[in-house]
Homo-oligomer: A and B are copies of this chain.
Amino acid sequence: MSAGLTYRMGRIFGRDGRAMVLPVDHGLMLGRVPGLEDPRALVQIAADAGCDGLLMSLGLARATAETFAGRGTPARLLTLDTLLREDEQDAGTGSAVVSVRQAAVLGADAVKLLMAWDVPAAEQAAATRRIAAVVEEAARWEIPVMVEPTTLRAPRNEQTVELEVHAARIAMELGADIIKMAYPGSASIMAALRAELGLPIVILGGPRLSTSADLVRLVDEAMAAGASGIVIGRQVWQREPRERLAVMKALVEVVHGRLPADDAIEGLLPVA
List A residues at the B interface (Cβ < 8 Å): 1-11, 14-15, 25, 27-29, 31-32, 37-40, 52, 57-63, 65-66, 68-75, 82, 84-86, 90, 92-95, 97-99, 101-102, 104-107, 109, 120-122, 124-125, 128-129, 131-132, 135-136, 139-142, 165-167, 169-176, 192, 195-196, 198
Interface of A is mostly: helix
List chain B residues, Cβ under 8 A from A5: 2
- Min C-beta distance of A160 to chain B, whole Å: 14
Q: How many copies does the complex hold?
A: 5
Q: Is the CB of A121 within 8 A of B166?
A: no
List chain B residues, Cβ under 8 A from A25: 173
- In whole angstroms, how far apart are the Cα atoms of A166 and B125 in the complex? 27
- Min C-beta distance of A71 to chain B, whole Å: 5
Of the residues B62, B93, B171, contact of A125 by C-beta under 8 Å: B93
Q: Is the CB of B11 within 8 A of A71?
A: yes
Q: Is the CB of A174 within 8 A of B14?
A: no
Could you list 23 examples of A-B contacts with CB < 8 Å?
A1-B2, A3-B106, A7-B65, A14-B70, A25-B173, A27-B170, A27-B172, A28-B174, A31-B166, A31-B169, A37-B195, A57-B173, A58-B132, A71-B71, A72-B72, A82-B128, A84-B124, A92-B121, A93-B124, A97-B131, A98-B175, A107-B107, A140-B140
